[in-house]
Chain A
Amino acid sequence: MKAMETFVTPTPSRVNYLNATYGLKSWLLTKDHKRIALLYLGSISFFFLIGGLYAMAIRIELLTPQADLLQSTTYNKVFTQHGIIMVFFFLIPSIPATLGNFLVPMMIGAKDLAFPRINLLSWYIYMLGGIVTIYALLAGGIDTGWTFYTPFSTSFSNSYVVAAGLGIFISGFSSILTGLNFIVTIHTMRAPGMTWFRMPLFIWSHYATSLVMILGTPVIAITILLLAFERLAHIGIFDPAAGGDPVLFQHLFWFYSHPAVYIMVLPGMGVVSELIANFSRKNIFGYSFVAFSSLAIAVFGFLVWGHHLFVASQSVYAGMIFSFLSFAVAIPSAIKVFNWTATLYKGSISYDTPMLYALGFIGLFTVGGMTGLFLAALAVDVHVSDTYFIVAHFHYIMVGGTLLAYLGGLHYWWPKISGRMYPEGWGRFSALVVFVGFNLTFLPQFVLGYMGMPRRYHVYPPEFQVLHVLSSAGASILGIGLLIPLLYLIWSMRYGKIAASNPWNLPGLEWQTSSPPPTENFELTPVVTWEAYEFAPAEEIQVVGKFRDTSVEEV
C-alpha cells in the first residue's frame, strides 16, 4: 500500500488564479469560482457604498426633530432605497456570493462549482438586476418602503415601483442559481474521504442557506411579477377595489422575506463557527448539533412569516401559532450560541481581527435574537410594531450579525484570497471601532422604539432628539470603522506582507493549498482522512501533554 502512494508537498506555485491569465476579458468571461467571487466582492461593495450613503442621509436628517435636509417625499424614497439596496443587493449576496463562492469548492476539495457557466451567469444576472434598480433610483426613485405593500405600491405610489421591482425580480434569479450550484456541488463534488460529517460547518450553513434560496426566492419572483402586472394593467388579485386581498400580498412577500433573513444570517453563522473553532484551536463543541441547527433554522424559517402580520388583520389563532413557531426558531439559534461559547471554554484563544469580529457577532446576534423574542410575543409586538424597536432589532441581526461575520470572514480568508496579509493592528482597531459605533447607533433605537418613535418618520417630538443624536453620532463612528478596512484591504493587495499557504496553521482543506490557490484549487485531488477542526496532536500535546501516550497506545 505504501508503495502505491506518493507524498507531494504542494509548493506555493507562482502561477495562481490571479495571474494565470490577464486582461479584462479574462475576468469578464471567467468560469473560475474564485474570480467570480471577486467580481461579486467588487460589485456588492459598490452597492454597499450606495446603501451606506442613503443611511447617512437618513441619520443626518434625523439629527433634528424638524424636516430640514429632506422633505417627506424625499425621505420616503431615501429609506426605501436604503432598504432595497442593502437587503437585495448587499446582504443577500454578501457572504454566499463572495466567501461562499470562493470557499465552497475549496473546502470540500473540488476544482470548481458544479456549474461554472451558471455561476458566471448568476453574476451577470445580479449586475443586470442592479443596473435596472439603479435606473429606478436615478429616474425618480421609489417610496413604498422595501416591503412594497399593496395597495399603496399598486395604485397610489407615484414612483418607479415597476422598475425597482423588476430589478429585484431579476437579481432573485442570481440568488436561485447560486443556491442551486451550491446544493449540487455539495452533493456531488466532495473529494474522496470528505464525508458529510467531515465537512466544515461553513459548508453546512451554506447548504441550509441554499435550501432557503431555492425554496423562497421563486415565491418573491412571482409575487413581484403579479404586483408589476397589477400596477401596469390595473388588474389584480391584491387590490381590494378589484375584490383582491392585500393581505395575500403580505403573506407571499413575507413567505420569502422572512426566510431571506436566514439567507443573510445563516452564512454568517457558518463563518463564525469556523472562526470560533479555529481561533480557539479546538474542535467545535457539538459539531452535529451546530450542523443540524443550521438545517433546523432553514426549516423553521419557512414557518414563521406570519409574525410580520400580527397587526395586519390576520386571524388571532394564526397569530398565536406563528408566535409559538417564532419562539421555536430561538432553539436552534440558541444551540449555536451556546455551542460557540462552549467551544471557547478551555480553548487556546487568540484575539486576531477575525476572532474579534466573531466574538462581536455572538454578542450582537444574542441581543438581536433576544429582542426578536420580544417581537414574537403577540402582546409586546402590538405595542412596538412599526417602531424603532423593530428597526434596532433587525439591524442587530443584519448589521451586527451578517456584516460583522462578513468582515470577520473577509479578514480571515484574505490571505487565501489575495495572497497578502492585512495589517493586523489596523484590523483590530477597526473591529473595535465598528463594534462601538454599531452599538452607539442602534442601542438608542431600542429605547426610542419602546418610547413610541415610529419607523419611517423624519419628524418627531423634541424629547426624542437626544437619542437620535446619539444614534447619528454612532452611525458616523460605524461609517469610519467600515471605511478603514476598505482602505487597508485595498492597500494590502499591493503592499501587504506575503501570506503563507497556511498562515493560521489550520486543518481546513482550503489552507492546504497555496495562497493564492492555483486555478484548479489543488494540484491533485485531495483525499481527506481527518475530521473538520481536528488539530494536529503536536499542538494538542502542549495542552494535554500527559494524555498523549494513552491515545497512541489505543491506536
Chain B
Amino acid sequence: MPVRRKESRNKLAESYTIGHENEEHGHPALQHHFENMEQQREASTLGMWVFLVTEIMFFGGMFLAYTLYRSKYPEAFASASNHLDLKLGAINTVVLILSSFTMAMAVYSTQIGKRRNQIISLVLTLLLGITFLGIKAVEYHQKYVDHLIPGRLIPLRPFDASGVHLLPGAAKQNVEMFYWIYFAMTGMHAVHMIIGIGLISVILFLSWRGRYGPEYHNPVEVSGLYWHFVDIVWIFLFPLLYLLGRHLEH
C-alpha cells in the first residue's frame, strides 16, 4: 500500500524554506541563475565535456571516410602518405604535446594561485599553438608547390600527382582522394587550433587582469579541456596520415 501524505493544494507553499538565504552571494563571478559557485563550476565543466562529445562525432564522419577508403585503396593511400613530410609532422606532434603540458601547468598554477606561473604558462601555450600553425602552413605551402592541392580548391592550379612516387596498384585518382581527406582533416583541426588560440588569448587577457584564482578558475580549466581535445585529435591524425603504410615503400 503506497504511503500517502497530507498535502495542500499548493505544494510549494509548504516546501519553501528559509534555507535559501544561506546561499553564497559572495563571489562576483557567480551568475544569477546558479545557487552557488560549485554548481556553476559543475555546469561549465559538464558543458565542455558534452561539447567535446559533439566534436568527436564531428571528426568521426571524416575518420569514417578515411577508414573506408584506406581499406579500399591501401596502395594509393600509402603512396600519398609517404609523400607527406614526416619530419615536420613529428616536430608538430612534439610541439602540441608540449603545449598540452604548459596548458596543464596553467590550470594548476591558477588553482594554487601562482599568477606569474599562470601567465607564463598561458603565453607558452599560445606560442606553441602558433608554432604548430606556422609549421602546418609551411607543409601546406610545400603541397601547393608540388601541385598536390586536390580538385579545384586553388583555381588554375589543378592537382597533379606526377611528383608522388606511386606504388604498384595505386591510382592517381585515389592519391588525390587521400590529399582531400588530408586537407579536410588537418584543415578542420587547424580551424579548431585557431579557435583554441583565440580562447586562450581571452583567458590570458583576463588572467593578466587578475580575474582567475583559487576560488574561481573554471574558465581556465574548461579552455584547457578544449585545448587537450584538439591535441588528442592530432595524436590520432599523425599516425593515420603520416605513418601508416610507410613500410610498403621500403
Stretch in A86-94, A130-138, A238-246, A431-439 touching the partner:
A238-246
Are the C-beta atoms of A10 and B12 separated by less than 8 Å?
A: yes
Cβ of A554 under 8 Å from chain B: yes
Chain B residues in 8 Å Cβ range of A527: 15-17
Chain B residues in 8 Å Cβ range of A554: 1, 3
* Chain B residues touching A, range: 35 or more
Are the C-beta atoms of A111 and B4 separated by less than 8 Å?
A: no
Are the C-beta atoms of B47 and A242 separated by less than 8 Å?
A: no
A293 CA to B84 CA, complexed, in Å: 49
Given A180-B51, A237-B65, A189 and B39 contact (CB-CB distance below 8 Å):
yes
A176 CA to B20 CA, complexed, in Å: 33
0 or 1 for each of B40-60: is its CB under 8 Å from A? (1 = yes):
001100110011011101111
Q: Which of A500-554 contact B (CB under 8 A)?
A: 502, 505, 507, 509, 512-513, 520, 522-530, 536-538, 540, 547, 550-552, 554
Chain B residues in 8 Å Cβ range of A242: 173, 176-177
Given A215-B53, A248-B68, A554-B3, A184 and B43 contact (CB-CB distance below 8 Å):
yes
Given A4-B18, A243-B171, A526-B15, A219 and B61 contact (CB-CB distance below 8 Å):
yes
Given A226-B61, A235-B180, A243-B73, A189 and B43 contact (CB-CB distance below 8 Å):
yes
Given A4-B18, A188-B39, A242-B177, A502 and B184 contact (CB-CB distance below 8 Å):
no
Are the C-beta atoms of B176 and A252 separated by less than 8 Å?
A: no
Chain B residues in 8 Å Cβ range of A7: 13-14, 16
A509 CA to B12 CA, complexed, in Å: 8
Chain B residues in 8 Å Cβ range of A551: 1-4
Are the C-beta atoms of A243 and B174 separated by less than 8 Å?
A: yes
Cβ of A233 under 8 Å from chain B: yes
Chain A residues in 8 Å Cβ range of B1: 547, 550-551, 554
A537 CA to B6 CA, complexed, in Å: 7
The count of residues in chain A whose C-beta lies closer than 8 Å to any C-beta of chain B is 74
Stretch in B113-121, B149-157, B195-203 touching the partner:
B149-157
0 or 1 for each of A239-261: is its CB under 8 Å from B? (1 = yes):
00011110010011000000000
0 or 1 for each of A156-195: is its CB under 8 Å from B? (1 = yes):
0000000000000000000010001101110111000100
One of A4, A183, A226, A552 near B65 (C-beta < 8 A): A226
Are the C-beta atoms of A233 and B177 separated by less than 8 Å?
A: no
0 or 1 for each of B3-26: is its CB under 8 Å from A? (1 = yes):
111111111111111111000000
A180 CA to B184 CA, complexed, in Å: 26
A216 CA to B57 CA, complexed, in Å: 7
A5 CA to B69 CA, complexed, in Å: 67
Are the C-beta atoms of B177 and A5 separated by less than 8 Å?
A: no
0 or 1 for each of A370-392: is its CB under 8 Å from B? (1 = yes):
00000000000000000000000
Are the C-beta atoms of B20 and A525 separated by less than 8 Å?
A: yes
Cβ of B85 under 8 Å from chain A: no
Are the C-beta atoms of A184 and B46 separated by less than 8 Å?
A: yes
Cβ of A555 under 8 Å from chain B: yes
23 A–B contact pairs at CB < 8 A? A7-B13, A114-B47, A176-B54, A180-B54, A184-B46, A193-B15, A218-B54, A218-B57, A219-B61, A222-B188, A226-B62, A229-B153, A234-B152, A235-B152, A237-B65, A245-B72, A502-B10, A520-B32, A527-B16, A537-B7, A538-B7, A547-B1, A551-B3
Name 20 extra pairs, CB < 8 A, besides A512-B10, A512-B11. A4-B18, A5-B16, A6-B16, A6-B17, A9-B13, A114-B33, A115-B43, A180-B54, A187-B46, A188-B43, A189-B33, A219-B58, A222-B61, A226-B61, A235-B153, A235-B177, A237-B177, A245-B68, A252-B61, A505-B9
Chain A residues near B (Cβ < 8 Å): 4-10, 110-116, 176, 180-181, 183-185, 187-189, 193, 214-219, 221-223, 226, 229, 232-237, 242-245, 248, 251-252, 502, 505, 507, 509, 512-513, 520, 522-530, 536-538, 540, 547, 550-552, 554-555
